[in-house]
Amino acid sequence: MTGALRAQGVHYKIGPARILRGVDLRVNPGEIMALAGPNGAGKSTLLAVLAGDLKPTAGQVTLGGQPLDGIGPRVLARKRAVMLQEAPMSFPFTVADVVRMGRAPWRGEDTDADDAAVAAALDATDALGLARRVFQTLSGGEKARVSFARALAQDAEILLLDEPTAALDIRHQEMVMALARREASRGRAVLAVLHDLSLAAAWADQLALIGDGVLVGVGPVAQVATAGRLSELYQHPIEVIGGVGGAGPLVAPIRGVMACAA
């Protein structure tokens, strides 16, 4: 395994807008880190910077101690897989074709291994029955599972997942997070952007909270996900109820009251 993925003093600007401001973050092999925060906080931008798809305005991202911008595209594609919120397709690819795209970094080395990886990813994500369907004909949740299958088939050391559960029903949310746990147990590093804080609390080892481009808390879920910190970050009163059945704390908004002033 390559080692930790690390952001050090990362800033990202678009014109005068400061999207990320001095972010220090370490994603370790063998762990799931959940990244959470309100809309517009910088979550997707940070994930893109960590993936090497965006170059930080200042600061550095390293993988196993090596600067990310010094790693060639093919090698980088073997080291990290990225699942985006949306996966637009211009051509009528089948689901099997889409998942096979995850094998592109390995293409030409072992066709049997490619076939096995695609089949295993489709099976794991409950998508085998969709294999012959055209991707554009799928529901939002089905597309999300197929996109996750493509990331799994890539067989990379780091999984970067942007809202992998947002379009999914409860069963498939739990399936995706259980698969993320499986990959972490195999020594991979997993970073998942999640809006469902209870889901993050149940499955993540570490929680990173971001607001207005600044990390406001990073560490074990129980230490970071406090009612006070979450209420301030989301500008709405939130309560954190102790773990239910060993599944981690339940995080819920307090309803019937006005949101906090911004």
Nearest to 242, CA basis, from 217, 222, 220: 222
Is residue 246's pLDDT more than 80? no
Extract the tokens encoding 22.
Answer: 């001095």
Mean of pLDDT values over 6-17: 96
Rg over CA atoms, the chain: 18
* 214-220/5-14 β-pairing: unpaired
Establish if 80 belongs to a structural domain: yes
Is residue 177's pLDDT more than 50? yes
Establish if 231 belongs to a structural domain: no
User: Per the structure, how many domains does the chain have?
Assistant: 1
Q: How confident is the model at residue 26 (pLDDT cuts 50, 70, 90)?
A: very high
Higher model confidence: residue 247 or residue 179?
A: 179
Higher model confidence: residue 179 or residue 250?
A: 179
pLDDT in tens, 32-47: 999 999 999 999 999 9
* 206-211/238-241 β-pairing: unpaired
Q: How confident is the model at residue 262 (pLDDT cuts 50, 70, 90)?
A: very low
State which residues form the domain around 60: 5-219
Establish if 68 belongs to a structural domain: yes
- Answer for the pair 54, 45: CB distance below 8 angstroms, yes or no: yes
Establish if 193 belongs to a structural domain: yes
Residue with tokens 């076939």: 115
Mean of pLDDT values over 142-170: 97
Mean residue pLDDT of the chain comes to 93
Q: What is the DSSP letter of 153?
A: H
Establish if 257 belongs to a structural domain: no
Establish if 161 belongs to a structural domain: yes
**CATH code for the domain in which residue 121 is found:** 3.40.50.300
Please tell me the distance from the alpha carbon of residue 230 to that of residue 238, in angstroms, as a whole number: 6
Please tell me the distance from the alpha carbon of residue 20 to that of residue 149, in angstroms, as a whole number: 30
pLDDT in tens, 34-80: 999 999 999 999 999 999 999 999 999 999 999 999 999 999 999 99
Neighbours of 28 (CB within 10 A): 16
Establish if 232 belongs to a structural domain: no
Residue with tokens 């969709």: 130
Residue 244: the pLDDT is: 52
Amino acid at 165: T
Residue 89: the pLDDT is: 80
Residue 3: the pLDDT is: 83
Establish if 225 belongs to a structural domain: no
